[in-house]
């Protein structure tokens, strides 16, 4: 027997070669095996994913980070759990490598100090947009090196979870201004924070009003309609769009409920379980971020948001042709988001060349 066609040993990283086809499948080449190859490569490389939480202080951002880390999926040994979450005073990133069924995920969560606490909230978005652009700049500086790393470390923010205060009214002008800027730079998933302070009817009415605000102010949150790739995407994403912003509750303490250990908030009237869909929509947020849309969030970050930044920076740096592949891009500070013209807002690079003009449904 040809040694190349022998079944691989269990520790081999190569997929088995497709079986010899039966007579009726003579035209069969075995292209589908490429999927196995991709899977094995991806498992070897692992995945990187970066999330940021943004919103006014006291809305439960740091608690939500712990909720995500502590929930069943992300059993972790974060130091300090169980003690009250200290106030976040500066941007800070925590990285964890999570492994499940042989798949490694390097997850970085960036927690931000609350904004909007000042009397004058002018440009309170600057530090956050500055951080996001800085990560694009880092990636760009690595990418343009002549001898670049085979794998460029990716610190770019793939998703920003924006916490809306549970006022029950509508988006505040500050949220609208912030979201308008943020959505042009990064994927944004808004959530209704501390949703346990609203009744089910209030949550629903608030959600509808926020959706209306987003539409009237042309704020495109994730998943953006124009990037649905096919009918299946449209069906799934339109269901998600219906439910966004998710009404979430955060908690970092475990309680015993009917013999089960659950993450939740203990009140006089009972336990609010964060993973129970009857209590809040935290599971929808976690599923979107990890189970269903992780790769898509990364793709849009790379193909749209980073691409906008890259085009903007290359244009700004007067790219001069000096032989094949030469790019004269002086390393410099990331464009300051303080000057509105410095951020690539107005450009929109579409992922695919397909015509999306028929996206209404």
Ligand X SMILES: Nc1nc2c(ncn2[C@@H]2O[C@H](COP(=O)(O)OP(=O)(O)O)[C@@H](O)[C@H]2O)c(=O)[nH]1
In the complex, the residues that contact ligand X under the rule CB under 6 A are 57-63, 85, 88, 114, 194, 196, 249-250, 265
Please give the backbone phi and psi of residue 47, each rounded to the nearest 5 degrees, phi first: -125, 150
**What is the CA 53 to chain-centroid distance, rounded?**
10
Q: CA–CA separation, 255 vs 273, rounded Å?
A: 9
Q: Which one, 197 or 356, has the nearer CB to ligand X?
A: 197
Other C-beta atoms lying within 10 Å of the C-beta of residue 226:
14
Q: Which one, 251 or 262, has the nearer CB to Mg ion?
A: 251
Tokens of 238: 């339109």
Please choose which of Mg ion, ligand X, none residue 63 contacts, taking the beta carbon within 5 to 8 angstroms, the exact cut-off set by kind.
Answer: ligand X
Residue 104 Cα distances to 100, 101, 304, angstroms: 7, 8, 26
Stretch binding Mg ion (CB under 5 A), from 14-22, 55-63, 224-232, 329-337: 55-63
* Shortest Å, Cβ 269 to ligand X: 13
Task: By CB under 5 A, name the one of 15, 73, 76, 88 that touches Mg ion.
Answer: 88
For position 62 contacting Mg ion by CB under 5 A, the verdict is: yes
* Shortest Å, Cβ 53 to Mg ion: 8
For position 63 contacting Mg ion by CB under 5 A, the verdict is: no
Token pair 């990890």: residue: 290
Q: Which one, 114 or 344, has the nearer CB to ligand X?
A: 114
> In the window 217-276, what residues touch Mg ion (CB under 5 A)?
none
Stretch binding Mg ion (CB under 5 A), from 53-61, 75-83, 115-123, 280-288: 53-61
Please choose which of ligand X, Mg ion, none residue 71 contacts, taking the beta carbon within 5 to 8 angstroms, the exact cut-off set by kind.
Answer: none
Q: CA–CA separation, 42 vs 101, rounded Å?
A: 13
DSSP state of 56: B
Q: CA–CA separation, 357 vs 129, rounded Å?
A: 30
DSSP state of 260: E
Q: Which residue is nearest to Mg ion (CB)?
A: 88
Q: Which one, 66 or 301, has the nearer CB to ligand X?
A: 66
Q: Which one, 71 or 308, has the nearer CB to ligand X?
A: 71
Q: CA–CA separation, 189 vs 287, rounded Å?
A: 13
* Shortest Å, Cβ 59 to ligand X: 4
Radius of gyration of the chain (CA): 23
Residue 300 Cα distances to 23, 160, 186, angstroms: 44, 13, 9
Q: CA–CA separation, 222 vs 183, rounded Å?
A: 8
Please choose which of Mg ion, ligand X, none residue 250 contacts, taking the beta carbon within 5 to 8 angstroms, the exact cut-off set by kind.
Answer: ligand X
* Shortest Å, Cβ 56 to ligand X: 7
Query: Which are the contacts of 209, defined by CB distance < 8 A and separation ≥ 6?
Result: 169, 170, 171
Q: Which one, 108 or 356, has the nearer CB to ligand X?
A: 108
| Contact (Cβ atoms closer than 8 angstroms) between residue 300 and residue 222 | yes
Other C-beta atoms lying within 10 Å of the C-beta of residue 276:
16
* Shortest Å, Cβ 231 to Mg ion: 41
Q: Which one, 65 or 294, has the nearer CB to ligand X?
A: 65
* Shortest Å, Cβ 92 to Mg ion: 9
| Contact (Cβ atoms closer than 8 angstroms) between residue 331 and residue 141 | yes
* Shortest Å, Cβ 59 to Mg ion: 9
Please choose which of Mg ion, ligand X, none residue 249 contacts, taking the beta carbon within 5 to 8 angstroms, the exact cut-off set by kind.
Answer: ligand X
* Shortest Å, Cβ 279 to ligand X: 11
- Binding site residues, Mg ion, CB under 5 A: 61-62, 88
């Amino acid at each position: 027997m040809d040694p190349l066609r022998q079944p691989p040993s269990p520790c081999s990283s190569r997929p088995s070669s497709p079986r010899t086809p039966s007579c009726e499948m003579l035209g069969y080449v075995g292209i589908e095996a490429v999927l196995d190859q991709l899977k094995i490569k991806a498992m070897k490389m692992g995945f990187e994913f970066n999330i940021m939480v943004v919103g006014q202080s006291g809305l439960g951002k740091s608690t939500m980070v712990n909720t995500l880390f502590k929930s069943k999926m992300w059993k972790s040994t974060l130091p300090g759990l169980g003690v009250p979450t200290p106030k976040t005073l500066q941007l800070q990133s925590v990285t964890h490598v999570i492994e499940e069924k042989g798949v490694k995920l390097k997850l970085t969560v960036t927690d931000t100090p609350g904004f909007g606490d000042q009397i004058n909230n002018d440009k309170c978005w600057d530090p956050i947009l500055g951080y996001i652009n800085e990560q694009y700049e880092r990636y760009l500086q690595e990418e343009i090196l002549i001898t670049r790393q085979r794998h460029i470390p990716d610190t770019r923010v793939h998703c920003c979870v924006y916490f809306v205060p549970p006022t029950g009214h509508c988006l505040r002008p500050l949220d609208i201004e912030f979201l308008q800027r943020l959505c042009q730079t990064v994927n944004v998933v808004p959530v209704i924070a501390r949703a346990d302070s609203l009744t089910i009817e209030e949550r629903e009415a608030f959600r509808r009003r926020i959706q209306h605000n987003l539409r009237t102010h042309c704020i495109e949150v994730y998943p953006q309609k124009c990037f649905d790739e096919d009918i299946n995407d449209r069906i799934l994403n339109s269901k998600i769009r219906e439910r966004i912003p998710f009404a979430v509750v955060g908690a970092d303490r475990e309680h015993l409920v009917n013999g089960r250990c659950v993450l939740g908030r203990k009140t006089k009237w009972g336990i609010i379980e964060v993973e129970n869909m009857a209590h809040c929509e935290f599971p929808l947020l976690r599923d979107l971020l990890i189970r269903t849309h992780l790769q898509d969030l990364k793709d849009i970050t790379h193909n749209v948001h980073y691409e906008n930044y890259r085009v903007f920076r290359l244009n700004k740096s007067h790219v001069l042709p000096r032989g094949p592949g030469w790019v004269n891009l002086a390393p410099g500070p990331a464009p300051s988001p303080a000057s509105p013209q410095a951020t690539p807002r107005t450009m929109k690079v579409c992922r695919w060349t397909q015509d999306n003009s028929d996206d209404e449904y």
